[in-house]
Structure 1
Amino acid sequence: MGDQTIEVILTTSQQQYAVPSTPLSISSTVGPVELNALVNALLEESQPDWKKIDFDFLVSNEFIRGPLKNLLGPAGGETKVVIEYLESRPAPEPEDCLLHDDWVSAVQVSDKWILTGCYDNSLHIWTKKGAHKLSISAHDGPVKGVAWIENDGSSATFVSASCDQTAKVWKWSVGSDTAKCMFVCRGHERSLTSVSVNPTHKLMATGSWDALLKIWSAGLEDASPVILEETPAKKMKHEKSPVRTPILTLKGHQGVISSTVWTEVDELCTASWDHTLRLWDAELGGVKLDITFNKAFQCIDWSPLNKTLLSSSADRHVRLHDLRSAEYSQVQTTFTNHTKLVTSVHWSRGDENLFISGGHDNEVKLWDRRSFRTPLYNLGGHEDQVLCCNWSEPQLIVSGGADKTVHIFKTKHAKQYMLT
């Protein structure tokens, strides 16, 4: 499609930025820069004290990143094109860099606290402002997964999964320098790779190199706490703790389960190096859905806001799956910008369209699912492979990597809601 004149109608859901809906004639070669100038000029006509701001533009729910004609097809598409615009999201601001003694392989944020797990077998708790609160010598092997269970302000419980074939549940009295190992989950025969907690905080799931998915009770009522011996530098030694066995052991995968995520109170999804995604019924213990792909899956995350699943594979792509659609086996969208394997993906819990990804190219990228060709921002800082990332708190992005650091970015204009 060459240069031609088309009619467009400008519309927005942000009524403070609304302009007349009269059709306008513009060139098909116009892009975001020219559209920005047009909308700001129209707003200045109706608001003399108007101060210019930046907007993003969409056609058919896809961001315009180049000339408008790129989204209209060879024949130019419709005679009238509806262009939606919204205020551009500001770039996240780097807040802090948290130094560790070894690779940071797991991270999750909850309320005021950041929980990290490392290859030196340790767990760490930090404030969101970067102050180190607690270090625990937690396992006999690298920590590969962490998850907060509950946090009531005065105390918090969390779980860690390790290459020592165990998961451990911990209770921390907020403000103190001590932690208790409440119980140890034993049953896997090989290293654990991931752990996740269901929406009611009553159940946990673990995946492992033994290709088994195990469901555990996360409740503390039937576990006797063991107080750990305190040592200098806020470090703790672990002693013998009560052992808990799984409620369910689910078989089906033929390779390592690389990632687990709960989609409902009694439903969860697993990703595996056997090239499959599986949706499980955690109450009945059966497989509800089995999706086969041509690459090993590295990580998955589920959005409770838009009810879709993100996956990363060994081919450097991130993919979007709608497990509720009739065509669930088909990939809805593919996001390509990383240059190496993508190790971690995580949806924003404050905006249904936004997510982050981290990979072996040392990059963390902030995406809008309506812009699959180009990420909104590249979040620099890591000097080695990114191994984990998390966006559990709408205004805080965190990532950990093989450079032994956790990077914190503060986001702006996040919607002021969270799912509980």
Structure 2
Amino acid sequence: MEVENGEGQVQVRLKTKQEHYAVPDVPYTIEGNVTTEELNTFVNALLEQAALNAGDHKTPVDFDFIVIYEYLRGRLCDHLREKEISFEDTIDIEYVERFPAPEPKDCLLHDDWVSAVKVCGKWILTGCYDNTINIWTEKGKHVLTIPGHTQPLKAVAWVSVDEERGKFVSCSQDQTAMLWEWLVGTNSVECVSVCKGHERGIDCVDVSPDKSRFATGSWDTMLKIWSAEINEGGEGTSKRAKESGTTRVPQLTLQGHRECISSVQWMDADTLLTSSWDHTLKIWDLHLEGIKTEISANKSIFDASYSKLNRLIVTASADKNLRLYDPRTNQGNIVRSTYFGHSQWVQTVMWSINEEFLFVSGSYDNQDKLWDLRSPKAPLYDLLGHGDKVLDIDWSNPKYIVSGGADNTVRVFKSRKAVSAEAMDEGK
């Protein structure tokens, strides 16, 4: 068989976990130089033939193809050669329905850089370089501007929110975190506590799964744990105390990083993940009050995200690339995959909370990108709209990808998969 230039034929089996798209499980002989588009045509022709045989019609579907655990992004023959797979073997090709492109929706205009975004339900919380916090609806309606900090915001997080009240945390370069209570009905907000203890600006925050605590990471290299309870020890119980904003001190301070802590995330009730400019990821055990695992990188890490669905960590770095780590491996510094596609340093990254293979990133190249962990050579989609560097991205609500940037805007992208799921639910 002549395959040096991709000529010749390869025998394949076509498999899918989406049974309604299954084709007969038999070997098919195809050209070695086929691409995703040609495989798409082939599979849809098989599905259409099966539908015609059953007296039905099948609307064409866009598929992606996975060969040896990785998306096919060029010719099949090149992919097989790269993976050192013999062309004499029967090749298993898995196909999955392509995740639809997120749909650009609203643009939320601010007065300065938007460095922090967090979504909870239908509410969007933003932090800005003009020292303010803002609340918006997912439809793009501005609800409230909240002054209080004396320097730019760097991180925000919802503790909880419902139809009556919300509770959230804001963190700033002014070295404080502030705990807020928002009464939705009257659209009034009060600072419950000013959290003091960091000696330099606070760069990141995350709330514990049970909503009772939050963690902050700072340029002072310290990780601090705080109570998120409004009436902790009688704090904030009187109107006067709420108006003045009582001072709160940390419950716990953890030391171990040598430079700025750039991200913090609760992996479970007693385990935290941090990333740092010191080229490390650290996993902390709050019972032991110390470091359980350390993963070394060769670059400063600007953001990291842990997925509870697949238990993997993805990081954003200064060298334009994203990296995938498995914290369960004994070889803690081994990179499982590297993702190429951004042209400037990657500032922010987050896993989907309901799609185990998907994550989003934002970069100084002004772009958001949607990735599948099985596609390291290219993202699934570029999400365009920002006119300057992207500073933060959030996918806490599966229906919306939301990002803030140095163009003074928040961009909202709606997941078309979420839209179609809503339509199906309404039709039931």
With the shorter chain as reference, the TM-score category is: over 0.9
Q: Whole-Å Cα distance in 1 between the matches of residues 107 and 86 of structure 2?
A: 48
- Are residues 1:170 and 2:174 paired? no
Structure 1 residues 195 and 75, CA gap change in structure 2 (3 angstroms) = closer
Cα displacement (A) at 1:289: 1.1
Q: Whole-Å Cα distance in 2 between the matches of residues 16 and 8 of structure 1?
A: 20
Q: Whole-Å Cα distance in 1 between the matches of residues 174 and 243 of structure 2?
A: 15
Q: Whole-Å Cα distance in 2 between the matches of residues 371 and 226 of structure 1?
A: 54
- Residue identity opposite 2:148 in structure 1: A
The percent of aligned pairs where both chains have the same amino acid is 48
- Are residues 1:405 and 2:415 paired? no
- Are residues 1:375 and 2:384 paired? no
- Residue identity opposite 2:187 in structure 1: D
Q: Whole-Å Cα distance in 1 between the matches of residues 85 and 47 of structure 2?
A: 32
Match of 2:425 in 1: none
- Residue identity opposite 1:224 in structure 2: G
- Are residues 1:6 and 2:10 paired? yes
Match of 1:127 in 2: 137
The question of whether the paired residues in 2 share the 8 Å contact of 1:56 and 1:86 is answered with: yes
The question of whether the paired residues in 2 share the 8 Å contact of 1:188 and 1:212 is answered with: yes
Structure 1 residues 318 and 75, CA gap change in structure 2 (3 angstroms) = closer
**Which deviates the most, 114-123 or 310-319?**
310-319
1:40 to 23, 34, 44: 44
Cα displacement (A) at 1:284: 2.4
Cα displacement (A) at 1:76: 2.8
Match of 1:393 in 2: 397
Q: Whole-Å Cα distance in 1 between the matches of residues 185 and 412 of structure 2?
A: 22
Cα displacement (A) at 1:245: 0.7
Q: Whole-Å Cα distance in 2 between the matches of residues 123 and 227 of structure 1?
A: 22
Match of 1:332 in 2: 336
Deviation readout 1:85-130 (Å, 9 max, x if unpaired): 1111111101100000010000010001000000011001110100
- Are residues 1:51 and 2:59 paired? yes
Match of 1:194 in 2: 204
1:157 to 157, 160, 167: 167
Q: Secondary structure at the match of 1:175?
A: coil
Q: 1:182-221, aligned counterparts within 5 Å?
A: 182-221=192-231
Cα displacement (A) at 1:321: 0.9
Q: Secondary structure at the match of 1:393?
A: coil
- Are residues 1:16 and 2:31 paired? no
Q: Whole-Å Cα distance in 2 between the matches of residues 153 and 309 of structure 1?
A: 34
Q: Secondary structure at the match of 2:377?
A: coil
Q: Secondary structure at the match of 1:392?
A: coil
- Are residues 1:27 and 2:31 paired? yes
**Which deviates the most, 294-303 or 365-374?**
294-303
- Are residues 1:144 and 2:154 paired? yes
Q: 1:219-368, aligned counterparts within 5 Å?
A: 219-222=229-232, 223-224=235-236, 240-368=244-372
The question of whether the paired residues in 2 share the 8 Å contact of 1:104 and 1:402 is answered with: yes
Match of 2:114 in 1: 104
Q: Secondary structure at the match of 1:36?
A: helix
Cα displacement (A) at 1:293: 1.9
Q: Whole-Å Cα distance in 1 between the matches of residues 119 and 199 of structure 2?
A: 29
Cα displacement (A) at 1:295: 1.0
Q: Whole-Å Cα distance in 1 between the matches of residues 172 and 46 of structure 2?
A: 58
Q: Whole-Å Cα distance in 1 between the matches of residues 75 and 376 of structure 2?
A: 16
Q: Whole-Å Cα distance in 2 between the matches of residues 104 and 227 of structure 1?
A: 31
The question of whether the paired residues in 2 share the 8 Å contact of 1:182 and 1:226 is answered with: no
Q: What is the TM-score of this pair, normalised by structure 2? A: 0.92
Cα displacement (A) at 1:239: 5.5
Q: Whole-Å Cα distance in 1 between the matches of residues 344 and 238 of structure 2?
A: 43
Structure 1 residues 345 and 43, CA gap change in structure 2 (3 angstroms) = same
Structure 1 residues 67 and 179, CA gap change in structure 2 (3 angstroms) = same
Structure 1 residues 77 and 215, CA gap change in structure 2 (3 angstroms) = farther
Structure 1 residues 46 and 310, CA gap change in structure 2 (3 angstroms) = same
**Which deviates the most, 156-165 or 215-224?**
215-224
The question of whether the paired residues in 1 share the 8 Å contact of 2:316 and 2:347 is answered with: yes
Structure 1 residues 75 and 405, CA gap change in structure 2 (3 angstroms) = closer
Q: Secondary structure at the match of 1:46?
A: helix
- Residue identity opposite 2:69 in structure 1: N
Q: Whole-Å Cα distance in 2 between the matches of residues 176 and 282 of structure 1?
A: 38
- Residue identity opposite 1:150 in structure 2: S
Structure 1 residues 210 and 253, CA gap change in structure 2 (3 angstroms) = same
Q: Whole-Å Cα distance in 2 between the matches of residues 144 and 33 of structure 1?
A: 43
Structure 1 residues 109 and 326, CA gap change in structure 2 (3 angstroms) = same
Q: Secondary structure at the match of 2:417?
A: coil
Q: Whole-Å Cα distance in 1 between the matches of residues 170 and 338 of structure 2?
A: 31
The question of whether the paired residues in 1 share the 8 Å contact of 2:32 and 2:76 is answered with: yes
Cα displacement (A) at 1:416: 7.1
The question of whether the paired residues in 2 share the 8 Å contact of 1:345 and 1:356 is answered with: yes
Match of 1:71 in 2: 79
Q: For the aligned residues, what is the CA RMSD?
A: 1.8
Cα displacement (A) at 1:4: 2.5
- Residue identity opposite 1:280 in structure 2: W
- Greater fraction helix: 2
Q: 1:75-90, aligned counterparts within 5 Å?
A: 76=86, 79-90=89-100
> Where do 5+ consecutive residues of structure 1 fail to align?
229-237
Cα displacement (A) at 1:226: 7.1
Cα displacement (A) at 1:413: 2.1
Q: Whole-Å Cα distance in 1 between the matches of residues 335 and 269 of structure 2?
A: 25
Structure 1 residues 64 and 241, CA gap change in structure 2 (3 angstroms) = same
Cα displacement (A) at 1:27: 1.3
Cα displacement (A) at 1:352: 0.7
Q: What is the TM-score of this pair, normalised by structure 1? A: 0.94
